[in-house]
Chain A
């Protein structure tokens, strides 16, 4: 860095000079970074800040039109349906558990036959289409096709799934019947059909002692009928109102823009024309009072229906058997029992909420902000009502980051300690370039590997019987939080590794020498002197890795499964094996499809602002740690 001040030459004029111009040019380029940062902030805010008023208006319409009122009942109805479905699953789990042998035999025979049909279908369809009436195929062609089909049958027979529950005689019989089957036959082979019949008979037989449970479940399902009819009645009314309000909003907006254009128009004729247009498009204020009054008449009926449903459910649920014999059925029954309490409590307090509900209660701006920050639903493009709740996305992003950091911190920091403290020069020369190479792998390639290879491998591993004790195994979806977390860990390891290694390298040699001189072992020097001294740097490395993980888009978009739902934590750690969506993924997925300037579009920009704030916060904290003087 030059220390001398630039003294203008004696003869150079004060004011403009070439040197000054050059200097100014370079300075303005340096200033470009500030301009870009300010532009980013300004345009994110410009596109995003309109969201809250727009969302507030949507929530207001939601209330005025009465959709909110209907949702009070609807939520209970859907809880009722869910409970009924859990009970049904428990019932069938019990029955299937009791006739496992028949179920397995039937399934295996069917799977064998399906695998065979899949593999020989191409040649078979070809043959059949030439055999059919009207197809006058040449005999030579038919012969070739038959030969091809025979070959594919032969191939298909060679690789069929195992059937541990069928006797070898049965299997041979089945193979015989499918090998000699007529190509045009469409019915199942006799053994498959008879096993299916046996299974049905066994189900029939096992359901006799469970008849009482069946009746209870049926009664429970039937109890919701009244409320269901009521809700669908009200739904028709309120959606019509909502549509009327929205149409009026659109007309009003068009009118406002016509008026604005008229204000700008210089030509009196044009202005007159625009004004006439505006007057013509004057929207008739939609009639919201009459439908609302009609809706309010439902209040007592609704309350009564809820009370009735509650009483019915309470008595019916008491009749459930205390235990079921099959473990899966028992688990589902327990889940149903634990859901019963909140369900009944909700039913109990709904009448009061219904009678207190008022359509003319204003929606403050804070309600829109609150609904965005704490809303549990991100529902867009639906017919009923759009909700922009950030929680499912935020939770998804955080859970994926947690998985990634749990894997990347030990790996990255451990490797940094090993390379810096223990490795030979030779090892350093191998490992460092490899890790640098990982950093160069584009994220979309990692996502590609995740979607095509890693997800399936993980699912296959989870289906091993030996690993059945791991919570959440076997996994249902191959694309889930854990898969994404693993790949993001691989992405952030180079960042964490190289920064942590720098931090360890920056510890003055005197520290280590002093420690050695005092007689400390290598391990003591490393873990009690060097690592504590580099701790703030390592922490900064971890934070910068976290910033990278949260901001990463392509991997999570491809691999996280993209289901917008807060994972179900009732299954404990298995929640990490469920699919999820993320802050970054939602922007990448939806920005291409939304209309410019719509509330949804603005919502995506607000998500961007949030992401920007989170990552800048993390990075600022990290740089605090880096610049903190070592004591």
Chain B
């Protein structure tokens, strides 16, 4: 951000026409990127904001945020008036107006009602994967920054982090599918047919069966956590290393053990930095589609994740809707028409607002942190 060189060299002569020409063309390219980005946001806000925002209090169309996703029915009644109703309201309408004819009925999948299901699903996936990734990632970062010395093991760990960071998200999808969906162990009394291996546990009929968690919230969280792990480790290690060495030396000199030093003198000062950079990681986790396509996401679901569960743990083993997958479905599987625009642009607008506020929040926090923590 702050580049002292550019200040020192500010006084140099500006040069002649060639200098200006190069400067101008490079500036043009730069501002072209900015303009394209602005156009993109403008388009989404222009078409999406009217869906969500209303002119009357509470200024937000809560129905779109809080209703379940349904099929949209568009039809004319006998008086020639057009109706657009989501499936549940449509069946109520048909019941109320029994015997009246309906004309030109058309249905649009996924386009009626609201998007509470995808929003909740994305929140669950994000929270679950961030909990996993932060736990393992920060622990790994503590080892790398506080304990590790040059050794072949550390070299291998760094190489693995570097490689993991570059793997395409669809390959993580394949990995999650073949490992978490099809191969990880579960404790069950009735192992599935495709199990890879069963290990008897000698407790009743229960066996440890390597048959996977099926497509489920847990499998999706685990896949996303693996994907984001290198980002979390790198960011956390950076935050830990930013804590001055003197803090550690002082604590150790007072007779604290290594773990006491970390717990009282290193972690508390690095936690703000870790959390700030994990906000950026959240935007990535929330936005990814490819890893959850085969591991957790489902296009249509009648209930919210916690409804109609036999026991609370079934939440982890049920499929969820997710906002990015919902947008993919809306973009790829249904034709664009005036009736689907509300669902399409509305969902994208909500999604972009969530991601933008996370990313903006992370930027603000980082700026604040920089001014506050100066050692």
Q: Which residues of A contact B (CB under 8 A)?
A: 1-2, 4, 6, 18-19, 22-23, 25-27, 29-34, 36-37, 39-40, 43-44, 46-47, 122-123, 125-126, 129-130, 137, 141, 144-145, 148, 410-411, 414-415, 417-423, 425, 428-438, 440-445, 447-449, 451-453, 490, 493, 497, 505, 509, 512-513, 516, 521-523, 544, 547, 550-554, 557-558, 584, 587-588, 591-592, 596, 604-605, 608, 611-612, 615-616, 618-619, 623
Contacts and interface: CB of A to CB of B under 8 A. Distances in A.
By CB atoms of chain B within 10 A, which of A6, A126, A420, A547 has the most? A126
A414 B29 CA distance: 7
A93 to B, nearest CB: 31
8 contacts: A27-B153, A29-B140, A137-B78, A410-B29, A414-B29, A422-B23, A442-B286, A447-B331
A1 B162 contact: no
A451 B34 CA distance: 22
B352 A445 contact: yes
B336 interface: yes
Contact of A437 (B9, B82, B359): B359
A465 to B, nearest CB: 25
By CB atoms of chain B within 10 A, which of A144, A434, A509 has the most? A434
Nearest to B172: A40
Contacts of A130: 78
Contact of B257 (A19, A490, A522): A19
Contact of B157 (A18, A33, A125, A438): A33
Nearest to A432: B1
- Secondary structure at the B interface, as helix, strand, loop or mixed, is helix
A26 B104 CA distance: 65
B96 interface: no
Contact of B178 (A27, A43, A505, A512): A43
Contact of A553 (B33, B163, B166, B289): B289
B352 A32 contact: no
Which 10 A/B pairs are nearest by Cβ-Cβ distance?
A551-B168, A442-B287, A29-B139, A26-B143, A418-B26, A619-B166, A440-B359, A414-B29, A415-B30, A30-B140
Contacts of B359: 436-437, 440
A122 B5 contact: no
A431 B162 contact: no
B230 A616 contact: no
A442 B248 CA distance: 40
A523 B183 contact: no
B308 interface: no
Contact of B170 (A148, A420, A551): A551
B167 A558 contact: no
B105 to A, nearest CB: 11
Contacts of B154: 30
Contacts of A33: 140, 157, 160-161, 164, 229-230, 233
B339 interface: no
Contacts of B186: none
Interface string B147-186: 1100001101100111110111111111101110011000
A422 B43 CA distance: 31
B160 A34 contact: yes
B307 interface: no
A604 to B, nearest CB: 8
Contact of A611 (B144, B170, B226): B170
B245 interface: yes
The size class of the interface chain B forms with chain A is 35 or more
B174 A608 contact: yes
B14 A522 contact: yes
Interface of B: 1-6, 8-9, 12-15, 18-19, 22-23, 25-27, 29-34, 36-38, 40, 43-44, 76, 78-80, 82, 101, 103-104, 136, 139-140, 142-148, 153-154, 156-157, 160-164, 166-175, 177-179, 182-183, 194, 226, 229-230, 233, 241, 245, 248-249, 252, 257-259, 280, 283, 286-290, 293-294, 324-325, 327-328, 330-332, 336, 344, 348, 351-352, 355-356, 358-360, 363
Nearest to A412: B33
Given A516-B9, A554-B328, A611-B171, A44 B160 contact: no
By CB atoms of chain B within 10 A, which of A37, A523, A615 has the most? A37
Nearest to A31: B157
Nearest to B144: A30
A142 to B, nearest CB: 10
Contact of A591 (B29, B177, B289, B351): B177
Contacts of B147: 23, 26-27
Contacts of A32: 136, 140, 229
B278 to A, nearest CB: 14
A347 B174 CA distance: 44
By CB atoms of chain B within 10 A, which of A40, A436, A449, A497 has the most? A40
A2 B259 CA distance: 13
A433 B363 contact: yes
B348 A428 contact: no
Contacts of A29: 136, 139-140, 143
Contacts of A22: 258-259
Contact of A523 (B18, B31, B144, B161): B18
B167 A551 contact: yes
Contacts of B328: 444, 447, 554, 557-558
Contacts of A30: 139-140, 143-144, 148, 154, 157
A584 B327 contact: no
Contacts of B288: 442
A48 B116 CA distance: 38
B324 A444 contact: yes
Nearest to B80: A148
A512 B9 contact: yes
B9 A19 contact: no
A443 B287 contact: yes
Contact of B164 (A37, A414, A421, A544): A37
Contact of A588 (B12, B30, B145, B293): B293
A425 B6 contact: yes
Nearest to A582: B170
A399 B23 CA distance: 31
Given A31-B157, A442-B286, A126 B76 contact: yes
A451 B37 contact: no
Given A18-B259, A144-B80, 15 more contacts: A2-B245, A31-B153, A32-B229, A34-B160, A47-B174, A125-B104, A129-B101, A414-B26, A415-B26, A428-B1, A444-B331, A445-B287, A553-B170, A558-B332, A605-B178
B49 to A, nearest CB: 15
A490 to B, nearest CB: 7
Contacts of B163: 37, 616, 619
Contact of A418 (B27, B143, B324): B27
A505 B29 contact: no
B136 A558 contact: no
Given A30-B148, A414-B30, A608-B170, A4 B252 contact: yes
